[in-house]
Amino acid sequence: MTDPIGAFQKLALLAAALTVFVAGPTGHADASTTTNDTANFYSPDPNHIWNRLHRAFFVRTALRQRTHYILGPDTLCADGPAGTLVEWSRLNRLKLSYFSTKRDRSSGWMQLVIGSAGGRAVKVDSSLDGFYDIVERAARAAETTGLELSRTTRVNLRSMGISVAGQDETA
């Protein structure tokens, strides 16, 4: 089963690429043509790419707003329209990524992607209250199950003050 949030992220990237392709340069090759054209990204046509993109982001935001995360000793439950359950004893995916908003990496956010065998992945970003607790519990589950973590994930865990026993710290 595909992850609906991932599909919306792919749609956003496609829309950004189409913007560059469709919008192109703003100047005209012919000097006699006026250049007073203004870019209008919104159209009365409901099927216009920008209107479809706006709807996709609206749906994504609505899904996120209606999803509640319940952290338990044995599971993380994403309770909402696209809900799923991560069983800590069956954890087989853990990726902690950092997305910088500045060149010097002084500002940004983190995203945790976790999943258990047979279930869909859960994506949680650092703006969520209780993010640290979820990351810490996921790290303990990775330690217990012996899940091999990527170097990037280990570095990001260490930046949060979390280490996972049994993981190679020098790689």
How confident is the model over 122-169, as pLDDT tens digits?
999 898 899 999 999 999 999 999 999 999 999 999 999 998 887 765
Where is 76: in which H helix or E strand?
strand 75-79
Across 8-25, average pLDDT: 54
CA distance 163 to 125: 19
What is the pLDDT at residue 41?
59
> Same domain, yes or no, for 82 and 51?
no
Does some domain include residue 38?
no
Whether residue 90 is predicted with pLDDT greater than 80 in this model: the reply is: yes
> Same domain, yes or no, for 92 and 153?
yes
> Same domain, yes or no, for 138 and 78?
yes
Cβ distance 122 to 135 under 8 Å? Answer: no
Last residue of a domain, one of 13, 33, 65: 65
CATH number at residue 128: 2.30.29
> Same domain, yes or no, for 83 and 112?
yes
Does some domain include residue 52?
yes
CA dihedral 159, 161, 164, 165 (to 10 degrees): 130
Q: List C-alpha distances in Å: 125 to 72, 108, 136.
A: 18, 11, 14
What is the pLDDT at residue 9?
60
> Same domain, yes or no, for 133 and 59?
no
> Same domain, yes or no, for 103 and 138?
yes
86: Cβ contacts below 8 Å, ≥ 6 apart: 75, 76, 77, 78, 114, 115, 116, 119, 122
Domain that residue 16 falls in: 1-22+46-65
Look at the chain and report how many structural domains it folds into: 2
Does some domain include residue 56?
yes
